Amino acid sequence: MMVNRRNVLRTGLASLAAGALPQVATAAPRRFFGSHRVPLGVQLYTLDAELKRDFEGTLRKVAEMGVGVVEIASLHGRSAKQLRHSLKAAGLRPTGLHVPVAPIPFQEAGLTFANVQEVVEYAQELGVANVVLPIIQFPAGNRWGETIDIGRIAREGGGVVSAGTYERMADFLNELGATLRKNRLRLGYHNHNIEFAPLGKTTGLEILLAKCDPRLVTFELDVGWVAAAGLDPAALIRSHPGRFTQMHVKDIKANPVPDYAFHQQPAEVGSGSLNWPEILDAAWKNGVRYFYVEQEPPFPESPLKSVEKSCAYLKSL
């Protein structure tokens, strides 16, 4: 049978034209994490209780949420080799490690910066590049400033740390950061809301940002604590381009009165008061490359359920 090439061409073009509009109209929007090719992360501190009950099973559930990387807060009595093996078996990659100066009362004992060489060896064996000081602390003997009674500040809502102490804290961080850098590790500092208490015309975090050497110290922005102190996280990020490289993706309920004493009203990400499209956009444009979901207790149902809801929301953006 003879085929009219002109009719075939005309029919084909008509079909393409008819199909073009629906394809464009129904095209899926580009997702934040997918378009930037950055994995969604979780800070395992949130799931500490579940990990104590079922370590391997909890890690598998985290991976099933579409999480690719994790930040470690507790070692759960495991060596770096054991921890790395468990994470790999679950399909997770460790990218950060929290290490305090001294043991934190509400966490089990583990690594501290009292033994820097032990921290270096553990981080290298685990395969992480980022080691983060999770809370404001000084070495034993308090040689960097006045005593900081975290428990009293939390209980009484007072005890603002002085500007001079933050200046000495910056010296400490620079010194520690230089040591880690020699071992191909990067030191980070994680904020709470205490660092935003007014100190004249400045704050503790502003002092640390000004006096810490960017080559030696980076910052991990905890969005929830920033918001609890009454600040705009996106504006803070934009005002310090390149200084924040890691982020705790944490939401809170509306907080009409700024708080500087470890108090907040936690919420699952996307169900609180924060503008996440704006925050994530500002974060990416200004140098944040690690994003870890984290939530403080109490939880509406369970920590795992809250993390799952937060991850589902973030993947939809």
State the average pLDDT over residues 234-248: 98
Structural contact between residues 131 and 99, judged by C-beta atoms closer than 8 angstroms: yes
- The residue-averaged pLDDT of 303-313 equals 98
- Domain positions in the chain: 33-316
> Sorting pLDDT into bands at 50, 70 and 90, what band is 6?
very low
**Cα distance between residue 308 and residue 304, in whole Å:** 6
d(CA 150, CA 137): 9
**For the structural domain made of 33-316, what CATH number should be given?**
3.20.20.150
Confidence at 12, pLDDT banded by 50, 70, 90: very low
**Which pLDDT tens digit goes with each residue over 130-177?**
999 999 887 665 565 666 777 777 776 666 788 998 999 999 999 999
Counting residues of the chain whose pLDDT is more than 70, the rounded percentage is: 85
Is the pLDDT assigned to residue 204 strictly greater than 80? yes
Structure confidence at residue 145 (pLDDT): 61
pLDDT at 146: 65
Q: How confident is the model at residue 2 (pLDDT cuts 50, 70, 90)?
A: very low
Calculate the dihedral angle through the C-alpha atoms of 234, 242, 260, 212, rounding to the nearest 10 degrees: -170
